[in-house]
Amino acid sequence: MIASSVGKMDKDVESPIFTSLGMFIIDEIHYLDKPSVFNIIGGGGFFGLFGARVALSFNNTRKAGFILDAGSDFPAEIKDIILSWQTSTIIRDNPERLTTRGWNSYGEHDFREFKYLTPKKRIDIPDIIGYDFLLQSRSFHFICSADRCADMIQQLEKVQGIAYDNPNSAVICWEPVPYSCIPENLSRCQKILSKVDILSPNSEEAARFFGEPEPFTKPELESLADRYIPYLTKEGNQGLGSVLVLRCGELGIYVCSKKGYKKWFPAYQILNPSPKVLDCTGAGNTACGAFATALLLGHDWETAGVMASVASGLCLEQLGVAKLSGKSDWNGSDLRDRIDMYLQWSKLETTTDKVLEDLEK
């Protein structure tokens, strides 16, 4: 049985501009010094969807796509949250299995342990073949190893009949999964980058591919980014070319394109005079979803960087995802106001009107 926020007649649904093939997980989190929490929405793919939904707050929210496998234990309150976003999320109900669940434990010095409590359910290309509107998405978000990224792109090429080094193919936004970021996999990473439009590791992951410690200064991070650029040769993104979106924690996001665009976007909560940071889980995935979606809407690096920063800052304010009221009010404050405040704090060259104009296209 399929319960879907887009209804049964998916042939009439507009194809998304962003579809995440990452995972959905329901987390329980255990702490040393405070009560445990349960039924927290998680999973890198779902946080990517969250970022896309934030960027679509002034547009057709159906332009964000996702597939979610709900087991017999799927909480009704979580389903209500997902349906309230009005995205093109397919919820596949299966009473014969359990929803993917994770166990998280935070110890001293924020040391984190994680394990799956139920069998994990990944989303692969065959999963979207049955939904034509998802298969025609303008971008796909992968969180995986280089080998799996290459395999999924190869499957897309076969199904869609277009080579993914072709600039007219869908945009690929790839986050390398942390365990795969080791020197032994560097050549595999470099090889697949010719078919990737948006590469987005965090700074630690990017350094680990070279067997190096994470850099913490802007010059060192910029030098690290430059080592990836020669391999990002795809000419997609409406002629803008490929890009590295390097996520650098408190320093923000560094956007470095093949065609020479280079800019730092400061972290939202670092600039915020009254920062609210409860949990960092999913902030990077959220940034990816917002960046890719805003880029495809506005064709502008600046707008994409602003939305990645604003959306990831919003992700930090609670466990799980932010609370939506209406269409563009997140955690009790309108997204327009968040964008306006961020631009005042960061002193970036763009304007709120320009960002909103891009997001409404």
Long-range contacts of 92-96 (CB under 8 A, 24+ apart): 92/1, 92/2, 92/3, 92/67, 92/68, 93/1, 93/2, 93/3, 94/1, 94/69, 94/70, 95/71, 96/72
Per-residue pLDDT tens digits for 91-135: 999 999 999 999 999 877 667 889 999 999 999 999 999 899 999
Q: What pLDDT, on a 0 to 100 scale, did the predictor assign at position 6?
A: 46
Kindly report whether the global pTM for this prediction surpasses the value 0.75: yes
Q: Which two tokens stand for residue 27?
A: 């987390």
Q: Which two tokens stand for residue 65?
A: 């796509």
Q: What pLDDT, on a 0 to 100 scale, did the predictor assign at position 110?
A: 65
Q: What pLDDT, on a 0 to 100 scale, did the predictor assign at position 111?
A: 73
Per-residue pLDDT tens digits for 197-251: 999 999 999 999 999 999 999 999 999 999 999 999 999 887 899 999 999 999 9
Kindly tell me the burial class for residue 261, based on how many C-beta atoms sit within 10 Å of its own C-beta (0-12, 13-18, 19 or more).
middle
* Non-local CB neighbours of 321 within 8 Å, separated by 6+ positions: 41, 46, 47, 50, 81, 282, 315
Cα–chain-centroid distance for residue 70? 21
Write out the residue range of the structural domain in which residue 185 sits: 2-359
Q: Which residue(s) pair with 29 in the sheet?
A: 37, 104
Q: What pLDDT, on a 0 to 100 scale, did the predictor assign at position 33?
A: 87
Per-residue pLDDT tens digits for 75-85: 999 999 999 99
The CATH number that applies at residue 70 is 3.40.1190.20
Per the structure, the count of domains in the chain is 1
Gap between the Cα atoms of 67 and 4, Å rounded: 9
